[in-house]
Structure 1
Amino acid sequence: MNTAIRGIARETLEFIMEVSRSTYPKEFAGLLQAKDGVITDILILPGTESSEVNAVLKLFMMPNMAAVGSVHSHPSSVIRPSRADLRLFSKTGNHHIIVGHPFGPDNWKCFSGNGEEISLEVLDVDIEDDEIL
């Protein structure tokens, strides 16, 4: 999949925040998938281990599907990648979202594969029928 990412669906970002709140104080982690250049889906890999310190994705469990990046929560309010985050980023695409406590609409950032903060627009799209308007 070579489509440029133009944003994330608002509904998907809200889902990320809700899951992050519900798993708090443990970290939540998943992989991002996109349709027509919009991040719409979160893939939760079997065997993902989560604690208050980190979440470990079992990348060998990934089905034959493309991921455009990763998402995970930081139970603290610090929203910047750690060294472990950067290692994951280098393996899983070019858009990586970190959300921080208290997991509100402004408690997130997107980073490139090398850890630089990048802009990611939140889009109001209809993803219920698997179609982007």
Structure 2
Amino acid sequence: MKKIKGISRDTLRFILEVSRSSYPNEFAGLLQAEDGIITEVLILPGTEAGESSALLRLYMMPNISTVGSVHSHPGGIIKPSSADLQMFGKTGNYHIIVGYPYDLQSWTCFNAEGEERELQIIDDQTSE
């Protein structure tokens, strides 16, 4: 299992923006990391999103490793549902749920069992 140091601020901003633009539907994707930092969101083909759920077609996942998942809860309640917990166990150990109003204070990271876990926001390094 990969040790994750945190999530890139730009990646978190992307997640919040795509969740905001998907509202009132849910958004869902998978998380990938590079050098211990979550930097990518993979959106699987065939993902279905509605106002009360988003369905990831995990069988469409290419042969890559993921560290977890991300999805939005348009109602603003940032707690995993029983369906979320079933999916968490299949895709890694870092699961982000974002809720309305989709700002830097409206997200939480959970482990595969649905327990809150700390995930540091890491400022992106700019090359000179």
Equivalent residue, structure 1, for 2:25? 26
TM-score by length of 1: 0.93
Equivalent residue, structure 1, for 2:113? 114
How far does the alpha carbon of each residue in 1:18-46 deviate from its partner, in whole angstroms, 9 at most, with x for none? 00000000000000000000000000000
Equivalent residue, structure 1, for 2:68? 69
Equivalent residue, structure 2, for 1:45? 44
AA in 2 matched with 1:106: Q
TM-score by length of 2: 0.96
Instruction: Give the ranges of 4+ consecutive aligned residues of structure 1 lying more than 3 Å apart after TM superposition.
Output: none
AA in 2 matched with 1:63: P
Alignment partner of 1:105 is 2:87: no
Alignment partner of 1:91 is 2:90: yes
CA contact (8 A) 2:2 2:67 kept: no
Unaligned runs of 5+ in 1: none
Superposition RMSD in Å: 1.1
AA in 1 matched with 2:61: M
Counterpart secondary structure, 2:91: coil
CA contact (8 A) 1:3 1:36 kept: no
How far does the alpha carbon of each residue in 1:64-107 deviate from its partner, in whole angstroms, 9 at most, with x for none? 11000000000011000000000000100000000000101100
How far apart are residue 7 of structure 1 and its match? 0.1
